[in-house]
Structure formats: C-alpha cells, structure tokens
Amino acid sequence: MLRAPLRSLSTTARKSLKIGIIPADGIGKEVIPAAKAAIEALGSDIPQPEFIDLLAGWETFTKTGVALPQETIDVLRNECDCALFGSVSSPSKKVVGYSSPIVALRKELDLYANIRPVFSVSPEAGQKSTVDLVVVRENTECLYVKQEQQIQTENGKEARATRLITERASKRIGQIAFEIANARSRKHLTIIHKSNVLSITDGLFRETVRKVPSLSADGKYDGVTVMEQLVDSAVYRLFREPEIFDVMVAPNLYGDILSDAAAALVGSLGLVPSINAGDNFVMGEPVHGSAPDIVGKGISNPLASIRSAALMLRHLGYTKGADRLDVAVDQVVREATTLTPDLNGKSTTQEVLTAVLARL
C-alpha cells in the first residue's frame, strides 16, 4: 500500500490546514462528512483543520445551471491547502451545458496524477496481502478531453471522439509512477497500453514513460524493473494473478477501468481511495461513484473516503496522522464486526465511522 509521501507539499509554518469539502452528489454527502470527522479526531498530529464547504455536481447544475461554480475553483486555488471530493451523478446522456465537475477540477488545478492504491487487508497484522498494487492514472487527457461530435451521413449517424496523448503529460505521469515504484519494496513498474492497435497515441505514451529513467542523471530509477502489458491482457491477469502487479501506469481511460476492476479483488469499491495530485495541490477522492440506489439509507461505506483523507494527508507530509487513519481502518476491516452491506456486513455508515474513531 502507499505508506510514504509521494511528493510532500510544503508544510512550512502552517498553523492551520484549510481543507475544501466538496461532497457533490449521492453518497458523497454521507461519506465525506465521515472523512471530515476522522480528520478532526487526529488532534495535534496535524495542524488545526479548517473546513470550507464548496459546491459542485449534478445537483448543483440542476439548481444553478453550473456544475462547477467559478467560486469553488477560486476558493480551492487561493484559499485551500487541499480538498476532499465525494462523488458525481453525471447523466449517461448528453445534457446541454453540463460537464463533469471532477474532470473539470482536475484540469483547472492541474491535478495530473490520479493515484489509486488497491490492497487487501490480511486476516492478521503482519501477514502478507494477496493484492498490493498502485494504479497511477494520467488524469488530464486521453478521451477525457471530451471532444466529441456527431454528424448525419447517408449511412446514418456517425460519432467521433478525439483522443489526446501528449509527450508532456506522459512524461509527468511516468515520473510519478517511477517515484512510487522506486519507493516500494518490489520496485516493479508495468506500463499499460494498447500500442499494437493504437500505435501512435499509445505508442507515444509507452515510449515516453520508458524514457523517464534516462532523464535522471543520478540513475535513481536504475533499480526499478519495467514491464509492459496490453490493457486487455492486463485485466485478465489482474483477476487471475494480481500478485504479479506492483505499480501500474496507464493513460486516463485504462487507469479508470483497471482501478475499478482491481477493487473487486479486495471486496468493494467502498474500500478503495485515491488522490488527485499536482505539483501544488492535492485532492482526496474515494474511487466509488454516487451510488443512487443506496442514497439516504445510511449504509454507504465511509472507509474509502477516510483512506482518501489519509492519502491526502500523507501527500502533504503529515505521515503520523495518515498512519493513524490507515491503521484504524485496517483494524475495522480485519475485525469484520462492523462493516457495511457492500462488505457483507449489517452496520450503518455512522456505526462504521464510530468504530474507526474508537480506534483512533
């Protein structure tokens, strides 16, 4: 699991920690308050947290006509040290004027790396986990540039989408992936692509990431073993032999799919955290969606959001507080007496939060 800071952002003379809180839609409004409560319970292990409530999401769009208010962007950029984002209920059909606020936020704040550790909690502390990997997902381009068009032809409708892969973005995500791999015990990196079909776009991604070690004059990545895997066979092997993977680096779409698939190996999307990281800002975000089928039932799993808060704090350099959150969550999962229905339990969101807080 990710137990070391990736790139600790400056914490010099920080007396308070200003955290933007964006629950957004669905169960985001239930799990982000749980993460907030867990952060507050850390006491002196972090600077005094100050929470700033901000708006974004489909519900915000239906009320105001804007999914991501400019005020939210400005406050995050100018007043906050970090942020927690919940989940979005984006419609599956095109709605004029609407665009995913989380995709927009990643671009506005240049949060180019989406880092998603996926690991199973072993039955007993110290026992080796069967799944322990990190998906490092490029976060700003690929098909997520959202450049689509539809035209009418003599043969019917024709739809096209632009896929953007740049050397700059591939280099940046490659450097992050090598840093993470180099900090882990196995020091193993797998580049995910489909360059046998997409030889230009995926070819550029693959070639650029492979060149990253040569850009380091001190040879600091010489100990990292680099492999490649076509994305379709990577999904197959992920389910058959997940233990072969350590760090996986992928373009935006592949990384999104792979990390969600990997969540099935550890029991639930409700356990998998992530951070959206850039050079100057970090935003925690549970991997799961808005789960409209369980909204309001009080059974959403808060553990992914609490783990995302831990990742966020660790990235900021507050390792002690992050470790306490991770250990508390691991204990709750390992004991298996207070779990939500997605993990075959019968507990409520509040009961799981209470169990985590008791272990803090």
Residue that terminates a domain, selected from 220, 236, 267: 267
Residues 64-97, buried b or exposed e (16+ Cβ, 10 A)? eebbbbeebbebbeeebbbbbbbbbbbeeeeeee
Checking if the pLDDT of 249 tops 90, the result is: yes
The arithmetic mean of pLDDT across residues 221-249, rounded, is 96
Structural domain range at position 349 = 1-111+278-360
Residue that terminates a domain, selected from 267, 297, 323: 267
The pLDDT assigned to 2 comes to: 60
Does residue 48 share a domain with residue 130? no
Would you say residue 60 lies in a domain?
yes
Would you say residue 214 lies in a domain?
yes
Tokens of 4: 């070391």
Does residue 100 share a domain with residue 135? no
Could you tell me which of 124, 209, 108, 125 has the C-alpha nearest to residue 167? 209
The arithmetic mean of pLDDT across residues 124-138, rounded, is 79
- Kindly report the average pLDDT of the chain as a whole number: 93
Contacts of 229-233 spanning 24+ positions with Cβ under 8 A? 229/190, 229/191, 229/192, 230/192, 230/193, 230/194, 230/196, 231/192, 231/193, 231/194, 231/257, 231/258, 232/194
Residue that terminates a domain, selected from 267, 288, 310: 267
Domain count, the chain: 2
The pLDDT assigned to 281 comes to: 97
Does residue 123 share a domain with residue 10? no
pLDDT band at 282 (very low <50, low <70, confident <90, very high): very high
Does residue 127 share a domain with residue 87? no
Does residue 255 share a domain with residue 131? yes
Does residue 256 share a domain with residue 143? yes
Would you say residue 327 lies in a domain?
yes
Q: Are 246 and 81 in contact (CB under 8 A)?
A: no
Does residue 24 share a domain with residue 103? yes
Checking if the pLDDT of 10 tops 70, the result is: no
Range with lowest mean pLDDT among 3-17, 157-171, 320-334: 3-17
Would you say residue 273 lies in a domain?
no
Supply the CATH number for residue 299's domain: 3.40.718.10
The pLDDT assigned to 92 comes to: 82
**Phi and psi, residue 299, nearest 5°:** -125, 10
pLDDT in tens, 82-130: 999 999 998 888 899 999 999 999 999 999 999 999 999 866 555 556 8
The arithmetic mean of pLDDT across residues 56-62, rounded, is 97
Does residue 149 share a domain with residue 235? yes
The arithmetic mean of pLDDT across residues 232-261, rounded, is 96
Rounded Cα distance, 166 and 177, in Å: 16
Would you say residue 272 lies in a domain?
no
Does residue 262 share a domain with residue 174? yes
Would you say residue 78 lies in a domain?
yes
Would you say residue 99 lies in a domain?
yes
Does residue 133 share a domain with residue 184? yes
Does residue 135 share a domain with residue 223? yes
The pLDDT assigned to 121 comes to: 87
Does residue 200 share a domain with residue 104? no
Place of tokens 């776009």: 201
